[in-house]
Amino acid sequence: MKILVCITHVPDTTSKIQFTADNTKFDSTGVQFIIGPYDDYALARAVELRDQTGGKLTVLNVGEAETEPTLRKALAIGADEAIRVNSFPKDSFFVAKQIAHYAKEGSYDLILMGRESIDFNGGMVHGMVGELLDMPSFSPVMKLDVDGTTVKMAREIEGGKEMLEASLPLIAGCQEPIAEWKIPNMRGIMSARTKPLNVVEAVSSETQAAATSYELPPAKGAVKLIDKDNVGELVKLLKNEAKVL
Amino acid sequence: MSILVYIEQSEGKIKKTGLEVVSFASALAAKTGEGDVVAVALGTISNDELAAVGSAGASKVLHCSDARLDAGVILAHASAIAQAFAKVGSKTLIMAKSSLGDAVAARLAVKLNAGLVSNVVELPNTDSGFKVKRSIFTGKAFAETELTTENKILAIKKNSVDLKTDGGSAAVESLEVTLSESDFNSKITATERATGEVLLPEADIVVSGGRGMKGPENWGMLEEMAKTLGAATGCSKPVSDIGWRPHHEHVGQTGVKVAPSLYIAIGISGAIQHLAGVNSSKCIVVINKDPEAPFFKAADYGIVGDAFEVVPKLTEALKAEL
Ligand SMILES: Cc1cc2nc3c(=O)[nH]c(=O)nc-3n(C[C@H](O)[C@H](O)[C@H](O)COP(=O)(O)OP(=O)(O)OC[C@H]3O[C@@H](n4cnc5c(N)ncnc54)[C@H](O)[C@@H]3O)c2cc1C
Ligand SMILES: Nc1ncnc2c1ncn2[C@@H]1O[C@H](COP(=O)(O)O)[C@@H](O)[C@H]1O
């Protein structure tokens, strides 16, 4: 089976989010970058499936040169090859176009992505790629098994889940508990150095909804502490001050 | 020109977010003078339920009653909405950001050659161009986004709209769409869903517990408080990882993002990844025995104390007041 996993290169979940002085760019000073947590689930499941069925596992990122360590990490976790589409990811549509173009050439059986990126939280790229390739897309997928060409999935719905069956090829936006995050081991890290990481150029530059400026939410006021022996006071405040009861 | 609004249903009931997005569209129509608001609903729903959407400002509801659309079949929903969009001759589609909404919106964006902005938190600025403010970095920041396409899709973040309630009753019209075999290329073999409970993503009040609750046997206390408040229950990630609570109750960066009026966090430390799922709440109450717990920094009200002592007392006080 040929599997493609699309990964984002995003600030660590503990990062303080800041922008440059003119509020037009993310300020990456002191920020550590990781594979998007949902993409990490997709990758972990893809490694398991590749180990079960054989075949080849490719990871892809649309990003500039600074994302290469993140791609190397994906190789260390178990991907066989990496592709970087050399361009700043301007918006979801732009990214989807790049992925669709690459995926079409590669004719993959299964394309796994994260449910959503944790920078832009769009939850859109998988659906866009699906439509561009005329391939079914499912998200958020919390379980995925492949049996021949049949794919059995569980998809989260509000307040529960539904079990689904579909056929390869398809696209899934993944979330836990599809697999456990994998930590690269020494052998993985060593072999990642020599696995191929190919850089390809972007195929189009069309954007539809690019961000023009950023802002941070107003700072939160200080907490009002209520004595634990006076819980009635809290109820009054919730009712009369916060007006939420 | 009409603004088209896709309203989601669950088991025959229009979701609260359905009324939110219709309210958003009404406010947008009023702002731009852009004509009326037409809603579209899919699957088995009663006429009364549909007509009630008028209160939020829809003049008409197009209803495709094909029972195959009762479930959220992504391709079929996208195909039906695209046909409604063409029929109405609309240029703007408004919908809710949700797990189904995301999947459908993305496919529609390509089908309709429309720019799509998700997680929208305010009415667009149309003074020059079409600029939309959306929430990014899981609620930690906002981005102004410029839409440059003629057709536009906005997916609205929940609880960021004031509900309009003074509209009339909407006219319900049936919508005929052509769905092909390939729109149903997946088979739903089973559905598991908590029924009769308040669903977490939609809840107006959430009572949430963390590892400080010590074990699943102690959740009765939180359920009692939730019942008193008509609230949904939530939990931190380790709690669902260990299996104390079902996965769909897990709140945070990698779980459900909630935006209730009131979020009550009990025995949760307030790790940044948990906060990412709750930072859009209007009011946050934290109960934790450790005065240094980081959650207090994100809270509006706090009680430093042992949950096993505070929670029953607070529930009693709530019962007395409500
Ligand atoms: C990439 C990534 C994504 C993550 N995503 C999420 C996510 O989506 N959601 C999430 O929740 N976490 C997430 N986490 C985990 C997160 O970092 C924390 O580990 C987790 O939120 C801690 O859960 P907790 O507060 O329940 O447990 P703990 O950190 O163990 O805190 C328990 C709290 O209970 C208090 N306590 C103990 N006993 C009592 C008592 N008797 N009465 C009152 N208070 C008491 C303690 O003082 C403490 O503050 C993620 C982590 C990573 C790395
Ligand atoms: N720049 C990118 N490069 C590769 N994959 C991406 C990129 N951006 C988004 N994706 C994939 O698309 C998923 C959904 O992203 P989004 O629509 O931005 O929430 C992510 O979890 C990734 O799997």
Cα torsion A84, A89, A95, A99 to 10°: value is 0
**Rounded CA separation B245/B253 (Å):** 17
Q: Give the C-alpha separation, A78 to A58, whole Å.
A: 10
- Whole-model pTM: value is 0.92
Give B249's contacts in chain A (Cβ within 8 Å).
none
Please check whether residues B180 and B207 belong to one and the same domain: no
A219–B contact, CB cutoff 8 A: no
Query: Within this chain, do residues B211 and B136 fall inside the same structural domain, yes or no?
Result: no
Task: Single out the residue in B129, B153, B184 at which a domain terminates.
Answer: B184
The per-residue pLDDT for range A77-123, each reduced to its tens digit, is 999 999 999 999 999 999 999 999 999 999 999 999 999 999 888 89
Beta-strand runs (E) in chain A? 2-6, 9-11, 33-35, 56-63, 81-86, 110-114, 137-147, 150-157, 160-167, 170-174, 197-201, 209-215, 224-225
Contacts 24+ apart (CB under 8 A), B285-289: B285/A234, B285/A238, B286/A223, B287/B311, B287/B314, B288/B212, B289/B212
Q: CA–CA distance from B296 to each of B91, B275, B287 (Å)? A: 45, 11, 9
Model confidence band, residue B155 (pLDDT cutoffs 50, 70, 90):
very high
Q: Which residues pair with A93 in a beta bridge?
A: none
Quick check: A218 contacting B, CB < 8 Å? no
| pLDDT at residue B196, rounded to an integer | 65
The per-residue pLDDT for range B277-295, each reduced to its tens digit, is: 999 899 999 999 999 999 9
Same domain, B180 and B204: no
Of B233, B245, B249, B289, the one to substitute when testing ligand 1's pocket (max ligand atoms within 8 A of C-beta) is B289
Tell me if B195 is assigned to some domain: no
pLDDT score of B1: 85
Q: Are residues B149 and B255 in the same domain?
A: no
Tokens representing residue A56 in the block:
């080849």
Q: Do A231 and B272 touch (CB under 8 A)?
A: no
Domain end call among B160, B184, B208: B184
A223 in B contact zone (CB under 8 Å): yes
- Residue bearing the bigger pLDDT, A103 or B128: A103
The per-residue b/e assignment along B10-35, b for 16 or more CB within 10 angstroms, e otherwise, is beeebbbbbbbbbbbbbbbbeeeebe
B135 interaction partners in chain A (CB closer than 8 Å): 121
Considering the domain architecture, whether residues B229 and B303 belong to the same structural domain is answered as yes
ipTM score here?
0.91
Number of domains in chain B: 2
What average pLDDT score do residues B134-154 get?
94
How far away is chain A from the Cα of B262, in angstroms, using its nearest Cα? 6
**pLDDT score at B11:** 87
A175 touches chain B (CB under 8 A): yes
CATH number at residue B20: 3.40.50.620
Q: pLDDT at position A214, please?
A: 96
Q: Check residue A32 and give its pLDDT.
A: 96
Q: How close B219 comes to chain A (CA, Å)?
A: 18
Mean pLDDT for B72-92 is 95
pLDDT category of residue B105 using cuts at 50, 70 and 90: very high
Please report, rounded to a whole number, the percentage of residues in chain A having pLDDT higher than 90: 87
Residue numbers in chain A where pLDDT is lower than 50? none
Q: What is the CATH number of the domain that holds B257?
A: 3.40.50.1220
The domain of B76 spans 3-184
| Tens digit of each residue's pLDDT (9 = 90 or more) over A52-82 | 999 999 999 999 999 999 999 999 999 999 9
> Of A35, A71, A125, which is best to mutate to test ligand 2, by the most ligand atoms within 8 angstroms of its C-beta?
A125
**Would the CB of A119 count as within 6 Å of ligand 2?**
no
Task: Confirm or reject: Cβ of A62 under 6 Å from ligand 2.
Answer: yes
